[in-house]
Amino acid sequence: MLSKNKIKIINSLVNKKFRDEFGLFVVEGEKIVSEILASNFKVEEIYCLPEWNKKNPKVKNVVEINESELKKISSMNAPNQVLALVKIPEYDLDYNELASSLILGLEDVQDPGNLGTIIRTADWFGIKDIICSKKCVDVFNPKTVQATMGAFCRTRLHYSELSEFIQKMKSAKKSFPIYGTFMKGENIYEEILSQNGMILFGNESVGLTKEIEKLVDKKLFIPDYPAGNQSSSLNVAVATAIICSEFRRRN
């Protein structure tokens, strides 16, 4: 049985303001909840239908609810058995560890679905850390969480002043190349790409700002086909996928 007040709190977590206030976010559905239970995230409470509880007898802090209650607290069109309240984690930035890794930098990415898809792609390609400018959409937005399909459990997102961060990384390690994607850049298929460094992607409408562009060591371009066709751009999550694939290709 769910109290009115509990329903109100859970529903409030669609807003970043209340996620910050309570230090909690919501994860929904069988697949993502099972991923979060297998991760280091701290699950505070689980609300589920009796059928989910039967299948997962060892899980603690479980509250059984009925379908109509699940509908009241879910932000999905078709709620899927289970919803978890999870503590928002805090990660420390280890500049030395980051300096030898390949990481992503996102400037003002606004669409929750794009951010979620980027996290899912980063996970596929073994990229563990993503530095987001403070104007990026929040990773614990329900739409972002769902679009990651659980990949956010294996990826650390850091919200930071992007230009300051890049400058710190450059001074922490001599060889830490900064890559960015531009309409005027070098053909990515012809470049020798580093195994460490940062790949930057910009806002859906305006791309990277001039301030960040100045910090880029190597401008990359994904060639259109045939060259100079009428197409105008790629979706940012799509550009991220093609670039990550190039950095990680093995043949």
Q: Residue 100 or 245: which CB sits closer to a second copy? A: 245
CB of 35 to a second copy, least distance (A): 8
CB of 248 to a second copy, least distance (A): 4
Q: Residue 3 or 231: which CB sits closer to a second copy? A: 231
| Contact positions vs a second copy (CB under 8 A) | 113, 117, 120-121, 123-126, 147, 149-151, 154, 187, 189-190, 222-226, 229-235, 237-238, 241-242, 245-246, 248-251
CB of 198 to a second copy, least distance (A): 17
The candidate with the shortest Cα–Cα distance to 189, out of 245, 150, 144, is 245
Q: Residue 16 or 249: which CB sits closer to a second copy? A: 249
Q: Residue 53 or 75: which CB sits closer to a second copy? A: 75
Residue 104 CA to residue 183 CA, distance in Å, equals 19
Q: Residue 34 or 163: which CB sits closer to a second copy? A: 34
CB of 223 to a second copy, least distance (A): 6
CB of 129 to a second copy, least distance (A): 15
